[in-house]
Amino acid sequence: MSIFAQFFDHISTLYLPGAVALWCSLFFALAGLWGYSSALAGDAKSLAFGRRAYRLYALSILLTSAVLFLLLVMRDFRIEYVFQYSGLDLPFHYQFAAFWAGQKGSFLIWLLWGSLIGLPLIKTCGRKHEPAVMGIYLLTLLGLLLILVRQNPFVMLNEAPLDGKGLNPLLQDDWMVIHPPIMFVGYALTSVPFAFALSALWRRDFSDWARRAFPWALAGFLVLGTAILMGGYWAYKTLGWGGYWGWDPVENASVIPWLLGTAMIHGLHMERSKGRYRRANLVLACLGYLSVLYGTFLTRSGVLADFSVHSFVDLGISGLLLLLMGSFIAASIFLLATRLRFVPTGANEDPILSRGSFMVMATIVILLSAIVITVGTSAPILTRFMENPGQVGPTFYNQVNFPLAVFLCALLAAVPFLTWKGNEPREILRKLVPAAVFGLITTVAGVLLSVSNPFHLVFLFLAATALASNFQATVRKWRVGGSKLAGGYLSHVGVGIMLIGFLASSAYDESTKVTLEQGVAKQVEDLEMTFTRFIPRNGREKESMEVKVVRADGSSFFTYPKLFVNDRTRQLMANPDIRSFMTADLYISPIEYDPGAPASNVLTAELQRGGSQSVQEGEIRFLDFDLGAGGNATVQMESGGIVTIGAVLEYTTEAGSQKIMPLYRFNAAGQAQSVPRPLPGGGQVAVTGIDAQTGAVRLAFADIGYEEPGSTPTLAIDVTTKPLIQMVWWGLYIVMAGAAMATWNRLKQARILDDLETQGTIEA
């Protein structure tokens, strides 16, 4: 086959409106790259061309996404992607979730956000930076675009199925509609500081990249953090395994760039205020984006699937991903190695007890955390060539991050009272007294609440002290400058709260498994629990179990954990029900439901010809079928009429024997009816089924004095109390609120500086 024939063959399997839009975007991306690189080479006129090409490129990606979305909404099952992830019964708003349910769609949404982010970036990256920044930024997008061209989402099936396979029920959740796209905004944002850093290195111009990249870095931190928070919340509320964070590779892939982003925003803050960290920031900006690429490689290429640890299957893009990652790593290393020495830096003369030194140490701690998480996540690769390759679980991550968290808390506690110039230890200790008193009270409270591990108590003391000292600083700064200055400290307050929440909810949760009989109250720790009823399915509301809980103080409430079989997949799904209280969450997860059986006075038996069953004082023997009981059965069967078959039974007692013949009627449609016959000793016998193959008959004897006791329905549940878990969420909200305030402030600052620059007031 000629290459053209192959090409047309390929095209004929694609949905053209979408595929053409995708190819257009590739064309415009290359054109934009050409324009920007010519501009970089000195041809000033090319800049406008590059810019226009970029806008057309972004438009094409928008169109590509719109086409895929419309196909999903129209439920066009000819398209393989739509067939795989959508279905007729999928409600409208879950079509969004279907968009990013698969590999291809999630790459597309990432690319879409990245492309849209590029539009304001053109305006704000500064004229002299634009060619390099936008060129590099386009290169990062081009990588994703190549994956999509390779893994075209518009592949069509040979025929149009009537219905799609439907969306994974776990993804049919409101959180899943918003969590992944926000995560991808966060990922897309990491390539902005990366582009700025590489451009600065390339052009050896380190003057103002930090200022311009700062709001983007903050926004990335904010968005990624929000997405991680949502993911944790979704896992906690929906998945029912009892936690919010499992140190799963997918989760780690999002938290590593977030930690690196945290280190970077502190570094950028230092560079902006003190002209320090100039080299470190360039490295951190590179690491942030490279870690996103590495995470994508780990979770999408199938390197971990080999290990059968997680559900990532190689879809034929590992080579491409490896190539992309390799080239970006090589380019970063090359530029850092050759250009870093041109970065002007001053000698570090900070005393150890100064804000500058503490920030350096805190940054190192955060960086170390990112490194150990990377090491843990890479365990299957690192041990690949050993005798028994393996992986590490939550224990590893908790163990190694614990000392880092303790150290971080100590640094955080002192930071608000330190100055750039340096302080006397006595002065800092004196200023820390009120916060330390709060820390001490918290620790004593912890001891009273049976925290006995000395490491945990030290951690609790430092975290509470850090919380208090940063709270003091937030109030102080707020009084001086309102939201402009307080953002950073407010975030630190959130970190303190969050860390205490981590410790309490993970190390001090208590879990009990208990089987409840319907209607029977059972004491579970200090709660009285009763399984009151089973609530059948009602529309989209799944089957749930009503459990009444009476607390020690006499107050009571109902919980509704769900346990149901998904129609489409036949999978058993368990949704916990969670009640939040001031001090703890009550987490009730269903394990197993046994519907029980009603009491019965019917005895059933299946008899072969000649088989017998004792009934009352006698014995019933099945002799044979009577096919002539209602006209010739064979004739009736052939003509499609009603067939009547009798079962000839012999009832034998000491008094003698007698024949009984209950009848069984059925038609071709499979409808059946049985005609019972009275038994001599009272009660009745009926035929409830016939097995023509084995020649067996199923009999039911009623009212013969037989009693089968029923069993009550039972529900097995897992009851867990998670102390202070609310602090995890609230802590994160506060971190995010602080970061939002700082982002806003830095955006305003950047805009003011931009205005001054255009007016020619300051040198750029």
Partner 1 sequence: MKINKLPLLGGVLLLAFAGFTLASFKETITPYVAYDQARTLKRTVQVAGGLQPNSSDYDNERQALLFTLTEAETKETLRVRYEGVKPANFEEAISIVAIGRFDEGEGLLVAEKLLVKCPSKYMGTEMEEKVYG
CA distances (Å), origin 20, targets 61, 138, 143, 759: 11, 20, 18, 44
Minimum CB distance to partner 1 smaller for 296 or for 378 = 378
Pairwise CA distance, residues 50 & 62, whole Å: 18
The packing angle between helices 209-234 and 725-758, to 10°, is 160
On whether the CB atoms of residues 593 and 244 are closer than 8 A, the answer is no
- Stretch (H or E) spanning 565: strand 562-565
CA geometry: angle at 193 spanning 191 and 197, to 5°?
Answer: 110
Pairwise CA distance, residues 534 & 593, whole Å: 9
Q: Binding residues for partner 1, per CB under 8 A? A: 84, 165-166, 168, 240-241, 246, 248, 307-311, 313, 347-352, 356-357, 360, 368, 372, 375-376, 379, 383, 386-393, 395-396, 399-400, 403-404, 513, 515, 568-574, 589-592, 594, 714, 716, 718
Minimum CB distance to partner 1 smaller for 254 or for 636 = 254
On whether the CB atoms of residues 534 and 545 are closer than 8 A, the answer is yes
Minimum CB distance to partner 1 smaller for 208 or for 350 = 350
Tell me the closest approach of the beta carbon of residue 385 to partner 1, in angstroms. Answer: 13
CA distances (Å), origin 563, targets 414, 472, 517, 572, 720: 49, 47, 16, 7, 17
Minimum CB distance to partner 1 smaller for 348 or for 555 = 348
Tell me the closest approach of the beta carbon of residue 616 to partner 1, in angstroms. Answer: 35
Pairwise CA distance, residues 196 & 190, whole Å: 11
Tell me the closest approach of the beta carbon of residue 316 to partner 1, in angstroms. Answer: 11
Minimum CB distance to partner 1 smaller for 389 or for 676 = 389
Minimum CB distance to partner 1 smaller for 79 or for 736 = 79
Tell me the closest approach of the beta carbon of residue 240 to partner 1, in angstroms. Answer: 8
Minimum CB distance to partner 1 smaller for 83 or for 196 = 83
Of 507, 587, 580, 586, the closest CA to residue 730 belongs to 580
Q: What is the DSSP letter of 582?
A: S
Tell me the closest approach of the beta carbon of residue 170 to partner 1, in angstroms. Answer: 9
Pairwise CA distance, residues 67 & 15, whole Å: 10
Tell me the closest approach of the beta carbon of residue 80 to partner 1, in angstroms. Answer: 8
Torsion from C-alpha of 381, 176, 191, 244, nearest 10 degrees: -60
Minimum CB distance to partner 1 smaller for 319 or for 351 = 351
Tell me the closest approach of the beta carbon of residue 529 to partner 1, in angstroms. Answer: 15
Tell me the closest approach of the beta carbon of residue 233 to partner 1, in angstroms. Answer: 19
Minimum CB distance to partner 1 smaller for 115 or for 374 = 374
Per-residue HEC secondary structure of 628-683 comes to: CECECHHHHHHHCCCEEEEEEEEEEECCEEEEECCEEEECCCCCEEEECEECCCCC
Token output for 66? 């719109």
Tell me the closest approach of the beta carbon of residue 574 to partner 1, in angstroms. Answer: 6
- Those residues with Cβ within 8 angstroms of residue 445's Cβ, 6 or more apart along the chain or in another chain: none
Minimum CB distance to partner 1 smaller for 175 or for 396 = 396
| Pairing status of strand 677-678 against strand 684-691 | antiparallel
On whether the CB atoms of residues 474 and 496 are closer than 8 A, the answer is no
Minimum CB distance to partner 1 smaller for 390 or for 678 = 390
Of 199, 234, 237, 233, the closest CA to residue 216 belongs to 199
- Terminal C-alpha separation, the chain: 59
On whether the CB atoms of residues 474 and 490 are closer than 8 A, the answer is yes
Tell me the closest approach of the beta carbon of residue 338 to partner 1, in angstroms. Answer: 25
Tell me the closest approach of the beta carbon of residue 502 to partner 1, in angstroms. Answer: 18
Minimum CB distance to partner 1 smaller for 387 or for 763 = 387
Tell me the closest approach of the beta carbon of residue 271 to partner 1, in angstroms. Answer: 17
